Amino acid sequence: MRILITGALGQLGRALTEVFSDHDIIPTDLPEYDITDPGIVPVFTDMRPELVIHCAALTNVDGCAKNPDLAFKVNAFGTQNVAHACLRSNAEMVYISTNEVFDGTATEPYPEDAPPHPINPYGSSKRAGEQMAARYVNQLYIVRTAWLYAPGSYMFPAKIIDAADKRGELKVVTDEISNPTYVPDLAQAIAALVESHVYGIYHFTNAGYCSRFDFAREILRLSGREHIPVHPITLADYPRPSVVPPFTALANTRGPEIGIEFRPWQEALADYFRATS
């Protein structure tokens, strides 16, 4: 299959390039392929993809809060350009979305049909991206995921280890809760999904959920740093440019119907440490 990947140099894009290495891959990213440039539509169309996996995004949540116009330019209107190219080349599309399309007021994990209600510019721009994609593409998978990390990426596990080694103790919030997700597991699941041709919304994360505090403690335990003290704080103690939806755990209820399930996040995190040691 001829597969165009946007954001191919990002952590998910790199993992997908590896997982689909038996296919005819067209990896695209900045600076050569800017999805905000309307001229990208004929460029992508001329590449004649059969499937487009759209990972490119402005993913810095606080950065989006500081510059909402840029967040919408990339995440919403950039997605409109990618979707337009899918329409013109009759390609299937996978749009990668986020737990932050929800407002975080739930007490149980959000199923795929829960009504989105974003409360910050990152979440609003990604939700607008979902709507743009759905307006143009019928053969559309929307894959919402959360708290990604991968070998070689500087995400929460690597940041916690750095902070622990520099400061000798940590303060981490207990009231931000979601699903830590190992990028290689997500890439495998997307590979299985696109074999199904069962379109719609999916919630793909590792199984189980936790607070940032519990995630940090497991990172320290698995990396042999359990002696580092971690002090619990709350979101109110740690003001950020972006409003944080507190509980955004996702429930994968549709994946199992087509045989796609995930292992627990703790097992995946242990694999991350095996891969990075």
Site residues for ligand NAP per CB under 6 A:
6-7, 9-13, 29-30, 33-36, 55-59, 74, 78, 96, 98, 126, 145-148
Q: Of 152 and 200, which CB lies nearer to ligand NAP in the complex structure? A: 152
Active site residue 122: yes
CB of 90 vs ligand NAP, minimal distance in Å: 22
Q: Which is nearer to ligand NAP, 34 or 175 (CB)?
A: 34
Q: How far is the CB of 2 from ligand NAP (least distance, A)?
A: 19
Residue appearing with tokens 């800017």: 34
Choose between 30 and 194: whose C-beta lies nearer to ligand NAP. Answer: 30
Contact present, 110 and 203 (Cβ < 8 Å): yes
**Closer CB to ligand NAP, residue 12 or residue 260?**
12
Compute CA distances 94 → 50, 81, 152, 198, 202, whole Å.
11, 14, 24, 12, 10
Active-site residue, from 122, 149, 182, 272: 122
The C-alpha angle 243, 254, 197, rounded to 5 degrees, equals 110
Residue 96 CB, shortest distance to ligand NAP, in Å, is 4
> Distance between CA atoms of 31 and 155, rounded to whole angstroms?
22
By the 8 A CB rule, do 211 and 173 touch?
yes
Nearer to ligand NAP, 89 or 145 (CB): 145
Least Å from the CB of residue 132 to ligand NAP:
13
Q: How far apart are CA 232 and CA 54, in angstroms?
A: 37
Q: Which residues have a catalytic role annotated?
A: 122
